[in-house]
Amino acid sequence: MILWRCSDISKQELQFNEEIRDKELRVIGPDGAQLGIMSSADALHIAEEKNLDLVKIAPQATPPVCKIMDYNKFRFEQQKREKEARKKQHTVEVKEIKLSLNIDTHDFNTKLKNAQKFFAHGDKVKVSIRFRGREMGHSEYGYDLMKKFADACSEVANIERPAKLEGRQMLMFMAPKPAK
């Protein structure tokens, strides 16, 4: 039975020093200059003379490419870069605005301002109207209210999914316009 593992390149552990078992290697020096093709023992000897590590950076190449470098420093810098990338990453959240058929203008404007704040932060907005009792017979008022809300947000957002009646609830999804 063969088990396949999927892993990111950044998570993949590189082979270094005695872990490298290949006969021939293409070796790159610590300054980036090519030292040529040599045996792994010779390359390891050169790395030990310079008090550095021999790291296999391209195992799929023929012959595999190894570089002479300080492995601990390399791992530290790699972890630092990954941490910075995670800091800059922004997750898009879906915020919900709930409207009702008999909403007053001031309440409508308050919900509109909240939606615009969400769009300013780069979040998507789910606008919903819940129909109660006899309101189900007047779903056209819900469509009108959704259209009014979409028109009011048209400067900062696009309709991702238009208003659609699903059971007793009408839903519409909006996303912020891309920054110019």
Coil vs helix vs strand at 8: coil
The radius of gyration of the chain's CA atoms, rounded to the nearest angstrom, is 30
Among 54, 70, 86, the domain-final residue is: 86
* Same domain for 54 and 120: no
Do 127 and 166 have their domain in common? yes
Percentage of residues of the chain with pLDDT beyond 70: 93
In a domain, 3, yes or no: no
Specify the pLDDT at position 1: 39
* H and E: helices and strands count for the chain: 4, 8
Domain count, the chain: 2
Q: Which domain holds residue 118?
A: 94-176
Q: 79: which 2 tokens?
A: 């972890």
- Same domain? 38 vs 57: yes
| pLDDT of amino acid 141 | 92
CATH number assigned to the domain comprising residue 69: 3.10.20.80
Terminal Cα-to-Cα distance of the chain (whole angstroms): 52
- Whether 52 has a pLDDT exceeding 50, the answer reads yes
Domain presence at residue 2: no
Domain end call among 65, 86, 107:
86
pTM assigned to the model = 0.53
**How do residues 116-158 score in pLDDT, each as one tens digit?**
999 998 899 999 999 998 888 888 999 999 999 999 999 999 9
pLDDT tens string 63-95? 889 999 988 898 898 899 988 888 887 777 889
